[in-house]
Amino acid sequence: MSIDTGAMAYDEALADRLREQVADLAPHATEKKMFGGLAFLVGGNMAVAASGEGGVMLRCAPAETSRLMDELGAEPMVMRGRTMHGWLRVDDERLLDDEALARWVRVGVDYAASLPSKG
Degrees, nearest 5: CA angle 106-112-113: 85
pLDDT for position 100: 93
Spatial CB neighbours of 75, under 8 Å, sequence gap ≥ 6: 69, 88, 89, 90, 91
DSSP E strands, 3-110: 30-34, 37-42, 45-50, 56-59, 75-79, 82-90
Domain 12-114 CATH superfamily: YgaC/TfoX-N like chaperone (3.30.1460.30)
27-49 pLDDT, tens digit each: 999 999 987 899 999 999 999 99
Structure letter (DSSP) for residue 19: H
SS3 74: coil
pTM of the shown model: 0.88
58-97 pLDDT, tens digit each: 999 999 999 999 988 899 988 888 988 899 999 999 999 9
Question: Taking the domains of the chain in order of start, what are their residue ranges?
Answer: 12-114
